[in-house]
Structure 1
Amino acid sequence: MQPGDALEELELGEQEQEAPKGGEHPLGNALWDRLIPGISIPPALLPDRAIALLSVLLALSFVLLMALSIVNFRRVSMAWEALEEARMRDESSHTAAWLNLSQVQHALDKQLSKEAKAVRIQLLNVSQEVEKMQGRMAQCEAGCGKELLGRLQDLEARNALEPVLQQLEEVKRELSVVLEESRGLSRILCPTCPPGWLQFARTCYFFSSTTKSWLEAKEFCGDLNGHLATVSSEQENKFLANHVMENRIFWLGLTDSSREGHWQWEDGSSLSVSFWNSGEPNNVGEHGEDCATIFSNGRWNDVSCSNKEAWICERSC
């Protein structure tokens, strides 16, 4: 090899080292193929593509975040609506419960007032009877006192004071027993009912032998300081039925003329017990059936108030 040839080869080697070939990446084709195999990107476009890829990733992340936020917001809204509906139902249930409690309290107060009124009437009757019995006992005590005084004087005259005192104590005990029995009878028995009336417990009943309309029968009982019969127990209903003549019906003081289907007694009290016949009351007929009657078997029936029927009056002893 000539010296000139060696110098030319050295210069060519230096030129190859100073400028890489146009298709070779600055990092080296081998290293780029390891990072992104199969894709060849010009060096000038690498920063722009990286920024675009990062922007796309950020946009996708933002969209995903918004979608998740919307889904969570809708879930929270649905949960809030469910809670609001539950609260409304709870308030409705509390309101209904309070209304029912108020109605029950009102009904109880009304029933207690009626019972208290009946008790006051009974106490008034008992007090009158006790006053009469006390008057009778006072008369008896006066008469007995005179008799005892006479017996005591006789015994003193015979110098038998000791037996007299013993007999006096016995008479006192007997008198106290009689007084106590009289008080007990005054609480149980009532005075004799008027002629033509029958007694049950502390009540007198009149069974008519003629017929009238319900209103006429009501007026008749009112003229006798009574009213058409009311029924408050099974025993009272049996008593009335036992005095109802066969194949006849008698008016009771029960009507729904003020409001159809709302049966109440003449004094305005509601039914506590009832003994309606099968299928009754049925309110049949052109003008309806608004007044109650009782059969001899104790069953009740509704008929027209203008019918002419027998009736039962009731009054206290």
Structure 2
Amino acid sequence: MSQCEDAFGTYEKCDFAEGMELEKKEQKKAPKGAAPSHLPLSPERAIALLYVLLAVAFVFFMALTIVNLQRVSAVWEELKRARMHTESSHTTAWYNLSEVQHSLGQQLSGDLQVIQGQLLRVSREVENVWRNLTQCRAECGEELSDRLRVLAAEKPWLEVVLRQLTEVEQEQSRALALLNASLEETRGLSARFEALRLRAGCPTGWQEFATSCYFFSTDAKPWLTARNYCTNHKAHLVIIDNEEENGFLARHITDNQVFWLGLSDTESEGNWQWVDRRSRSFLSWNNGEPNDAGHDGEDCAIIYSNGRWNDIGCSSNEAWICEQTF
């Protein structure tokens, strides 16, 4: 019989001893290195765990702090750019004002539109900067408030500039009105002068058609000599603009006559130009012309009685037609 059965008072000791034996057997059966499943948390481990949590909280707090600092730095940079942009806008406004004052009376209408456009752009830029600064004010703290006060202090100065630009605009409007009145008076004088010229008519021996006078020579000279003759008489070798003018000239040419035109390609072969170097769409070349025939080529144009044109050598002696425009 075991000790547990000998006496009633020994049962508790026996049960405790058996429990310890069972616990030792369980520990021996458990895999080596395995942690007990229901052991209470020791104070050392609790303190270590608390340190870890504090470290994580500190790292998280530092990350938030860095992010906020970056945001404040970005807002600060934006504020600096806004101020630089505002200063640049002020400089541009002053420069434009100086330019307007310098060129007043020379480019009235064009400068007025430029000033209005620049004034509108400067106003919009200032409004945008002011709006952005107002939106950032709650986030940027006292530093941003100081910047806003600086900008507010500069606003009256900008208003003075805008008021001066308005005064310049009003002055230009008055000058433009005076200029328009002067132009109207000049047009009236020109119309009266033109009427006097028309009343005077063409010089003796010249034929009148539309707004030009024409001289048909009776002599025959080379093309260059004929051109110089017209120039000396404040005219030029005839330039034909349309079919009506060409028909008028043809009606004053007899069947056995030809006359020099103010048309040649002496500067560039095949590039026919009038003496005023302006291009015309009207052409009346004869069939197969111009052909630049001959050893020396044909670089100057003549007109026949049928209104057709031909190219011949510029050294030929031919009659010519001078044209003088009213």
Q: Tell me the TM-score normalised to structure 1 length.
A: 0.42
Compare CA radii of gyration and give the structure with the larger one. Answer: 1
Q: Tell me the TM-score normalised to structure 2 length.
A: 0.41
